[in-house]
Structures are given as C-alpha cells and as structure tokens.
C-alpha cells in the first residue's frame, strides 16, 4: 500500500466521490426550493417550469455519476493493447 501512484489515484477517486456527494446535495436542495416556489406561487396549469431545471441538471448529475462511478481507470494492459492496435 506504499505505492505512491496507487495512493495518488485513491486520493483522486476519493475527491471525485466527495465532489459528487456535494453535487447531489446541491441538486436536492436547489430543486426542493424551486419546486416549492412553483407549488406556492403557480396556478399549476401547463408544464411546470422547474421541470427544465431538474431535467437539465439531472442529466449533468447522471454524467457526473458516470464519470465518478462508471468509468474504470485506464490500466497498463489497456495502454499495451492500444499500442498494439496502433502498430497494425
């Protein structure tokens, strides 16, 4: 566990996870406020305007989740295979 490269990568992953958690908290907090404003001030006819904020920000949050949890790190084996493909 003393490998500096491994420790640096672990630190980066933990920072990404921490950043993602703060993005989720912001998403929930701000969306709760805009939906409450809409519910308290709107006549509720037609499409609710907060849906656009929720949908666009939600897409960004899904993208951030993919970047944080879905992607696996590039390994030395991946680099070797790509270099082999480039040689052909």
Average pLDDT over residues 59-75: 91
Q: How many domains does the structure of the chain reveal?
A: 1
Q: How many CB atoms lie within 10 A of CB 50?
A: 19
In Å, how far from its chain's centre is CA 68? 6
Higher pLDDT, 15 or 44: 15
pLDDT value of residue 1 = 52
pTM for the predicted model, two decimal places: 0.76
Residue 76: band (very low, low, confident or very high) from pLDDT cuts 50, 70, 90: confident
Tens of pLDDT, residue by residue over 24-65, are 999 999 999 999 999 999 887 889 999 999 999 999 999 999
Nearest-CA neighbor of 62 among 23, 34, 18, 14? 23
Q: Give the domain range for residue 25.
A: 4-87
3-state secondary structure of 29: helix
pLDDT value of residue 86 = 95
């Amino acid at each position: 566990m003393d490998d500096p490269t491994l420790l640096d990568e672990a630190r980066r992953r933990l920072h990404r996870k921490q950043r993602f958690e703060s993005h989720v908290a912001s998403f929930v907090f701000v969306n709760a406020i805009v939906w409450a404003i809409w519910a308290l001030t709107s006549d509720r006819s037609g499409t609710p305007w907060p849906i656009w904020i929720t949908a666009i920000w939600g897409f960004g949050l899904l993208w951030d989740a993919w970047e944080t949890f879905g992607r696996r790190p590039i390994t030395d084996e991946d680099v070797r295979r790509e270099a082999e493909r480039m040689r052909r």
